[in-house]
Amino acid sequence: MGEGGQTTGIEVKRIQQLLTLAGNDPGPITSLWNPKTKQALLDFVEDLQWGPTTPYIDPQDPYYRLFTLAYSAGVLLDLPKNLRSESAALALYETCRERRLVYGWTKGTHVYNGGTRTIWGYEWDRGYAVATKGYARAEAEFDLDVPISLNCTGFANLMLSVWRSGAAHEAPYDRSQGVGGFNPLGARYSMQPAPGFYVLDPPGVYKSLDTILSSIHPSRVYYFGICNGTGFISHDMVYFGGKLYECNLDKTPAVYSTPLEDKIKVLDHGHYFTIYGPGPF
């Protein structure tokens, strides 16, 4: 994108948004390359003091300017690509805590912290994910107010993916948040209903701590969904090591963990758990 390359379209708009987030004024964000956008990119590249100063940006540039621009803009999230299982999940959890990520979600007319973000595996490096507004690749943009956020599904989805692979770049990871209700996220990761699932009333709804503890192993990973009495899921979480890990509106940072024995208190307020797992070691 830039001089001698593509100068119109959504890709140019994304570069203008990234430059803005990185502190370089590209002029009006119009999807049209203009002299001010050119100067903003030249200023950014010159500040890097790495490689030639050129008025264009190439995703396969050996100087990693696109990566550095995205990182400077705050739209990337570190992933533990060289770890797996519990160590990977804990590394992601600590990263989200250190970044003090906020909860972003759209429900009807209610928009929390800029709305829902789509989380993609960053194409050029398995060690990162990138957050955008918009689900379709041709429409994805960056938000100038809240560059990155997670919600319960986005966070649980990443946790289960890094547990398996350390990244978010191949199946079963899917950026879609089309789960919940009677479609549990755990099933996306080939998790089966936890033992005892079909003998409960109604099927799949855990209503007591004793029943839950008799059905899970604390060293394994499970998907937990908060549901109502019919099993309709309204909140996604991941369990391992005696704790539930989640992203929610009620705390800052929005990502936090709670011992299962404490979280079980939601059962006193008309909520229940549906459980899928265990997942792989």
State whether 23 and 149 are in the same domain.
no
Last residue of a domain, one of 40, 73, 106: 73
- For the chain, what is the mean pLDDT? 93
- pTM equals 0.94
Total residue length of the chain? 281
Rounded Cα distance, 80 and 247, in Å:
19
Domain boundary among 21, 48, 73: 73
How much is the pLDDT for 209? 87
- What does the pLDDT read at residue 195? 78
45-57 pLDDT tens trace: 999 888 889 999 9
- Regarding whether 108 and 67 lie in a shared domain, the answer is no
Indicate if 21 and 133 belong to the same structural domain: no
Collapsing DSSP to helix, strand or coil, 230 comes out as coil
pLDDT tens, 132-188?
999 999 999 999 999 999 999 999 999 999 999 999 999 999 999 999 999 999 999
Note whether 15 and 111 are same-domain residues: no
pLDDT above 80 for 202? no
Distance CA 26, CA 13 (A): 10
Residues 50-97 pLDDT 10s: 888 999 998 788 899 999 999 999 999 999 999 999 999 999 999 999
Residues 221 and 111 reside in one and the same domain: yes
66 shares its domain with 150:
no
> Confidence class of residue 108 from pLDDT cuts 50, 70 and 90?
confident
Q: What is the model's pLDDT at position 109?
A: 86
pLDDT at residue 88, as a whole number: 98
Identify residue 222 by its one-letter amino acid code: Y
The answer to whether residue 121 sits within a structural domain is: yes
Under DSSP, is residue 48 helix (H, G, I), strand (E, B) or coil? helix
Q: Does residue 17 surpass a pLDDT of 90?
A: yes
Return the pLDDT at 50: 86
Query: What percentage of the chain carries pLDDT values higher than 70?
Result: 99
Cβ-based neighbour number of residue 146 at 10 Å: 18
Q: Which two tokens stand for residue 186?
A: 């755990």
pLDDT tens by residue, 205-221: 888 888 899 899 988 99
Judgement on whether residues 84 and 165 belong to the same structural domain of the protein = yes
pLDDT at residue number 197: 66
Residues 6+ apart with CB under 8 A from 39: none
CA pair distance 133, 155, nearest whole angstrom:
16
Same domain, yes or no, for 117 and 61?
no
Owning domain of residue 48: 10-73
What pLDDT sits at residue 266? 79
Mean of the pLDDT values across residues 110-133?
A: 94
**Secondary structure element (H or E) that encloses residue 274, with its range:** strand 272-276
Q: Choose between 199 and 230: higher pLDDT.
A: 230
Shared-domain flag, residues 69 and 83: no
Work out how many domains the chain is built from and give that number: 2
